[in-house]
A and B are shown apart, each in its own frame.
Chain A
Amino acid sequence: MTSSAMQQLYQQIILDHAKSANGAVAELAALDADAATAASAAGVRLAQSHQVNTTCGDEITVRVGLSGTGADARIDEFAWRGAGCSISMASASVLNDTVRGTTVAESEAMLDLFREMLRSRGTIEPDEEVLGDAAAFAGVSKYPARVKCAMLPWVAFEAALLQLAEPA
């Protein structure tokens, strides 16, 4: 009975990312002073955020490391660890591929596009050129209950970046 609606939601790209889980690590201990000091000696500022989707219990921890400052600050390190549905896990994998190595400004622009697409209830036709694999989540926007799943890693990423925001 595998309906086309299911194939629209669970696109092959999503199922593949859920399996490959790019950027996932087996352990992600809480950031302590030692880790932060070691990183800063290497010129990297680290932050980490843990998010839970209380409706289903999905969890994710995202760690980012920035090098450089201001407009040039770049996402040098990215790692995540999580447990959850294929939508949230695939989204974390895509997030890794999307933001690793980009500048903070670029990644924030992607985040805005991704969120706008997911909130569109299927009305926004994503630009694959810009969004890449993240465009595959357009189908999720028709399932309001699943938008949270797709957003979970991005919200964790956003929260981690916020911790590293420089005073204006």
Chain B
Amino acid sequence: MTFVAPPPAPARDPSDQTPSDHAQTDQPLTDRSGSDLTLSSDEVLRIRNDFPVLHQLVNGHPLAYLDSGATSQNPISVMEAEQEYYEQRNAAVHRGAHTLAFAATEVFEAARATVAAFVGAAENEIVWTSNATEGVNLVSYAFSNASLGLGGPAATRFRLGTGDEIVVTEMEHHSNLIPWQQLALRTGATLRFIPVRADGTLDMTAAGEILNPRTRLLAVTHASNVVGTINPIDDLVAMAHAVDALVFLDACQSAPHLALDLTALGVDFAVFSGHKMLGPTGIGVLYGKAELLAAMPPFLTGGSMITTVDMQGAEFLAPPQRFEAGTQRISQAIALASAVDYLSHTGMHRIRTREAELGRRLVEGVTAIPGVRLLGPGLGVERIGLAAVDVAGVHAHDVGQFLDEAGIAVRVGHHCAQPLHKKLGVTASTRASTYLYTTDDEVDRFLAVLAEVAPFFGVSR
């Protein structure tokens, strides 16, 4: 893994050091001294100073932002990295022989290296997409194209037809479900799913029966955006690979919250979104094992992904460029790399531990409130800092309104997981989700206001 050093920035006043300068010289953004296992409350307060958006009043109350599972906030260093790119290096990448184009290409590829290292991948295994959803579609359409015969003999393992099976789980986000439903419809393959048990965890016994030699692909989420659990990916990879199926991992809720090593996990593909991990919107990542990407036909085609073109056809570039048609999201990729630097300097192991504490605090709190039901397993099962609840007799939309009035931002609805909600016997839920900038006090405020919901709506006994 080599890190392509960015070109020296134009001379500036040395006193004018911005966090993004630090990020590029690989120094800590702020003092993160002390190698404790978690983030202390002082540290969380220091981290919060890097996030301007958190310091505001909402409906007369300090904002308690408990919706990072939907989208996270950006630290100043990330916004500055994007601005610095536009101020100093903006140009088209991978083309042109001028100095600026060269500088832009270098920082763009350095961003790829940073993100690759963050998830234990090689640079040529990281494809930029606009978000995780696009990454799922990219792979599902590549399978489609292979099924039509594109990609030649090398693409045989992506070819699907009648008799082949695609396996998903009952807890998938719609973004890791609908593209596979559509792929099954286009190719004649059968879509099957691993059911969720009453406690919201995957039925691994059923998984053992459902994965069989006809299975060609297993698509599964790493951490659930509803029940907050971390799935046993090691076991699932072993089971899928034993029947020669590929594994596609939705890492949207894991990449931001734990130390992710995709190579060690052994998955074949993975996707995640920049905006859920302190980065901007408009950038996501598709990971694919090098030998698989090399064999896979492209989805989007056009400029920037070809070697030679004539009027009848074209030769394609090697991955990752083969899958990056058109002008890329350059500033967003650079900003995402800055976000990844921020996370790495803070320490993903510490973030995971801190969020497990917050998750426990949420679970203990919500289960102590009469009439509030936690979706998913209770204490004793590790969860990311996320808890979705059902308040008996009060619709989630009303719960969210009531919390918002107190300055507390949560997600209400089905969180793009309708089948899972149906399985758990509800149509909608209220979800609080944390991140490295969440304080204990914010969780406690959420719990206190949540306890007032049922009495206000007149459903307390």
The A interface is mostly helix, strand or loop, or mixed, namely: mixed
Q: Report the nearest B residue to A7, measured CB to CB.
A: B456
Complex CA gap A134/B376 in Å reads: 39
Q: Report the nearest B residue to A53, measured CB to CB.
A: B397
If the complex has contacts A5-B59, A10-B398, are A56 and B449 also in contact, measured as CB distance less than 8 A?
Answer: no
| Residues of the B chain whose Cβ atoms lie less than 8 Å from the Cβ of A31 | none
A58: interface (CB < 8 Å): yes
B377: interface (CB < 8 Å): no
If the complex has contacts A85-B397, A86-B394, are A57 and B402 also in contact, measured as CB distance less than 8 A?
Answer: no
If the complex has contacts A1-B449, A2-B456, A86-B395, are A143 and B401 also in contact, measured as CB distance less than 8 A?
Answer: yes
Which residues of B406-428 have CB atoms within 8 Å of chain A's CB atoms? Answer: 406, 412-414, 418, 427-428
A15: interface (CB < 8 Å): yes
| Residues of the B chain whose Cβ atoms lie less than 8 Å from the Cβ of A55 | 413
Tell me, rounded to whole Å, the shortest Cβ–Cβ distance linking A30 to chain B.
20
Tell me, rounded to whole Å, the shortest Cβ–Cβ distance linking A150 to chain B.
12
Interface string of B58-86 (1 = CB under 8 A from A): 01000000000000000000000000000
B380: interface (CB < 8 Å): no
Tell me, rounded to whole Å, the shortest Cβ–Cβ distance linking B358 to chain A.
22
Interface string of A1-29 (1 = CB under 8 A from B): 11101100110000100010000000000
Question: Contact between B456 and A56 (Cβ–Cβ < 8 Å)?
Answer: no
| Residues of the A chain whose Cβ atoms lie less than 8 Å from the Cβ of B406 | 1, 3
B457: interface (CB < 8 Å): yes
B458: interface (CB < 8 Å): yes
Among candidates B398, B412, B427, residue contacting A86 with C-beta atoms closer than 8 Å: B398
Question: Contact between B398 and A87 (Cβ–Cβ < 8 Å)?
Answer: yes
Question: Contact between A84 and B449 (Cβ–Cβ < 8 Å)?
Answer: no
A83: interface (CB < 8 Å): yes
Tell me, rounded to whole Å, the shortest Cβ–Cβ distance linking B426 to chain A.
10
A149: interface (CB < 8 Å): yes
Tell me, rounded to whole Å, the shortest Cβ–Cβ distance linking B15 to chain A.
46
Q: Report the nearest B residue to A19, measured CB to CB.
A: B458
Complex CA gap A84/B452 in Å reads: 20
Question: Contact between B397 and A56 (Cβ–Cβ < 8 Å)?
Answer: yes
| Residues of the B chain whose Cβ atoms lie less than 8 Å from the Cβ of A9 | 401
Interface string of A40-67 (1 = CB under 8 A from B): 0000000000000001111000000000
A146: interface (CB < 8 Å): yes
Determine which residue in B59, B396, B401, B402 has the highest number of CB atoms from chain A within 10 A of its CB, and name it: B401
B315: interface (CB < 8 Å): no
Complex CA gap A84/B449 in Å reads: 21
B405: interface (CB < 8 Å): yes
Complex CA gap A20/B254 in Å reads: 44
Question: Contact between A6 and B428 (Cβ–Cβ < 8 Å)?
Answer: no
Interface positions of B (Cβ within 8 A of A): 59, 394-398, 401-402, 405-406, 412-414, 418, 427-428, 449, 452, 456-458
Pairs A–B under 8 Å by Cβ, sample size 24:
A1-B449, A1-B452, A2-B456, A3-B406, A5-B405, A6-B401, A9-B401, A10-B398, A10-B456, A10-B457, A15-B458, A19-B458, A55-B413, A56-B413, A57-B414, A57-B418, A57-B427, A84-B397, A85-B397, A85-B398, A86-B395, A86-B457, A87-B398, A146-B397
Task: Enumerate the 9 nearest inter-chain pairs by beta-carbon distance, A residue then B residue, closest first.
Answer: A85-B397, A85-B395, A56-B397, A85-B398, A86-B398, A56-B413, A6-B405, A2-B456, A57-B414
Interface positions of A (Cβ within 8 A of B): 1-3, 5-6, 9-10, 15, 19, 55-58, 83-87, 89, 143, 146, 149
